[in-house]
Structure 1
Amino acid sequence: MLRRILNSIWFKLAIAFFIIGLLIYFNRIDISVIIALTKTWPWLVGALLLTLPPFWIVSYRFKIILSSQGIDVSHPQALRWTMIGSFFDLAMPSSNGGDFVKAGYVAEHVGAGLRTRAVMAVAIDRVVGLLGLFLLAAIVSVIGWNLLVDLPSRLLVVGLSFLAGIGPLIFLRIAGARRLYNSSRINRWLMDHSWGLRLKQMIGSFNALRENPKVLIASLALSILNHIFWCTALLFIAYAVGDTIDPLKGFIVFPLAIFGGIFGVAGGFGLGTAAFDFLLSHLLLIQNGAVIGLLFQIIGALSRLLGLPYFLKSHHIPH
């Protein structure tokens, strides 16, 4: 019963509203700042427009990842699945609920023989997306290292970015080595755990992706490009609320804040908003972190609504 309650959509929504309520009560979300947006709204419009190209970018990434798994689809088809998945990230609500729906569409499209590959392709696409988020922060930190001397906890922030961006690639490469991947002892151990088969399938899918280095590099580059748009949108939102943020510092801290959104609901509301408040106030030394996070999540939700027509056109949710 407790597990059902904790997994309930209504429980998650209640937590989100409770956290946002606390942020308002303790003046972390200043209503006067939100009211003042009537004078700076063009920055918000610009931020919304910046969230649209990423759908095209990540759908093309999904297309080439599917191709690496032996599933060839057109870019418009990959875009349709991406848009539907994005809508269900908002509508379920869950930070990754759209992946289950997207996997269902792809599995239905390919048929029984390739369903496992289809599901793993969606999982790999999510992993590559997250890696691009931290790789962006790592690359920016290398480019502007000498200009970031006053960034609080610089070594920790940059170290975490490198660890989260490069660490999983190293792990998957080592785990996918023939000697380990085909080891009967390791395979028996994996089969003894419920997550073991999924991990082995994930590693196998990554092996198929890295067999073509150009495709792997292109997938990571598209992920980085995608997050450049999202981080630039965050800069615009910061300008709208009256905060001036150095772009180099922003592009290092913003990925961490965006990652915090996966722990909220419907795009990060609640825990994700609190993560924005904590990270932006401590690392960028601004007071409107929660407002920036809330506006970012609202704008993200509006852009995800564009997936609704794609879903309505499909008429059903695959089982």
Structure 2
Amino acid sequence: MLAVQRPTEVPDPSSVPSNAPEHCPGTESELAGKADACNGCANQEICASNKPKGPDPALPFIRERMSTVKRKILVLSGKGGVGKSTFTAQLGWAFAADEQLQTGIMDVDICGPSIPTILGIAAEQVHSSSSGWSPVYVQDNLGVMSVGFMLPSSKDAVMWRGPKKNGLISQFLKDVDWGDLDYLVVDTPPGTSDEHLSIVQFLKESGIDGAVLITTPQEVALQDVRREINFCKKVGIRVLGLVENMSGFVCPGCKTESQIFKPSTGGAKRLAEETGVEFLGAVPLDPRIGKSADYGVSFLDEYPDSPATAAYLDIIDRLKHILGDA
């Protein structure tokens, strides 16, 4: 006779420790430390002895801060090195090009905070006041917060476990005086780990408008983006669309385009069709994008005639249309 499997409680992803075994019931579950999956787990005794917890005390403060933020957009990539932070910076600059719009960029890539360098503000520091931490401003209507501003040197490695990362993300949301924002763009690390689960948990009540997924054309990058799409579905984040970075190489002299990363399985456009996700567009590989990032200047402003600039602006216009802001 076949054994009847009892229905199991589906854990909140944000309550599952980063080192948890497969099928972990989550720290908030009544089965925490008591389920079969808990046997042998390093956290078993701690989870079993914990009394039921109430809601995170930071959530009301986060909700209050985020009440003045109109749009909250996550920029995700399953794989590192696909140009996610560069896209985040260009998106911020493009939004801020409209002087009537207030834009913020929050860098939660704790171990690889490149946003300050890309935006040309790496030497700045965070200041605090009675209203909280003040963002570092690239221009009057573009503010930034990153752990990069808090490091003694750009050479210092950030070697933090999950709880400390989560605590800093919570502070970025509840203690930073963002003010009235039209857009808050959140730059995340590659993958689907602590930082992603934290940002979803902390913004659950305030709402996330959606995520933009960044990839490159080759299959090795697309595999990780498939996982990222699956993550968004599981945690209930709307996927605004998929962007293909480094989609061919544009010669700065003759403007001829050639493929560097061959889309052997059809690239991002094919993936978007397969998964039912919006394909926002493809950005060609212009070497001046990297140069602009190194020098901390806006590629869109420095090279307005580049095909990559036209691609960025088309994608951003499409994003605004999807969000209902066009």
TM-score range, shorter chain: under 0.3
**TM-score (ref. length: structure 1):** 0.25
* Structure with the larger RCO, 1 or 2 (CA within 8 Å, 6+ apart): 1
Which has the larger strand fraction? 2
**TM-score (ref. length: structure 2):** 0.25
